[in-house]
Amino acid sequence: MSRPHLLMPGRMPKDVNDALDAHFIVHRIYELVDHEAALAEIAPQIRAVAASGTVVGAELIDALPGLEIIASFGVGYDNVDARYAAGKGIIVTNTPDVLTEEVADTALGLLLMTVREFGAAERYLRAGRWLESAYPLTATLRDRSVGIVGLGRIGKAIARRIEAFGIPVAYHNRRPQEDVGYPYYDDLLAMARDVDTLISVLPGGATTDRLIGRAVFDALGPRGVVINIGRGSVVDEEALIEALAERRIHAAGLDVFEKEPHVRPELMALDNAVLLPHVGSASLHTRHAMGQRVVDNLIAWNEGQPPISPVPETPFHGWTARG
């Protein structure tokens, strides 16, 4: 079987690179000085794209007339214009399931760090301040209730962990989930008024852009805690900074940001904000599994088989013959 030409717009983990080199002719466009000239030269040959965070929008899709599949590294794929790809008959895949438990673990760790201030307490010890006095008492999870925004695979894994902590769980979704018994809210503000801890697991995109803003923070109130493990664009950072600085909510824990890796200095200056550098799935075990899913989706396509994890916008209905 001939090796198809594959475009890699941005860097991928080494194990992904090695596996793709064994099955494809890989064009690492990010390594070249003149991207546009190189792309114009190879574009007619490209049949597949492997992307990790880099934007694959309508312009790039249109520049690749033979494109059949875009394999995205990550469960979130807002960097890929999947709807546009669907209109062109191009399959888009992502890497769900393999990172669910890792991200849920991170969400609970971030929640504990935010409410119990474990990171600040460690810094206090390292600074030698324990010799002067005990670390101040903190808030607790014992008297809290959690509302999860986005009860998909990861949201449900987080909910199971929250339940194990003995904390009541509610959720807000576009529609109720039939396989859970948690209270469902079709109104986000109503849920925010009834809980004091909000965990967002929402993907990015136009429908969720800055969904969690001033009105939600005010509904949570001064005991409110906001955890974002989904996409940075879902939370209005300017409104969040104001709510934290004015103590209209108690604290926030963020693993994702609007313009990451750039983080607003105002956020970093706040002592009631816990900030992580998007490490939700960042373990060797999970990133390897995610990379393998990218490879497996592409190999399935190359062998004329159904992809393992096509996104909902591009459901698989069979491959057309490749010329």
Task: Reply yes or no on whether 231 is catalytic.
Answer: yes
Residue 291 DSSP class = H
CB 99 within 8 A of CB 290: yes
Does residue 141 sit in helix, strand or coil? coil
Name 72's bridge partners: 51
Question: Which of the following is catalytic: 172, 231, 287, 293?
Answer: 231
3-class SS of residue 37: helix
Evaluate whether 48 touches 24 at the Cβ level (below 8 Å).
yes
Name the catalytic one among 11, 214, 223, 278.
278
Tokens of 4: 């198809």
- Residue in 238, 260, 266, 313 annotated catalytic: 260
Sign for the CA dihedral angle at 132, 116, 234, 214 comes to: negative
Annotated active-site residue 260? The verdict is yes
- Element holding 216 (H helix, E strand): helix 214-220
DSSP tag of 43? G
Amino acid at 133: S
Residue positions annotated with a catalytic role: 231, 260, 278
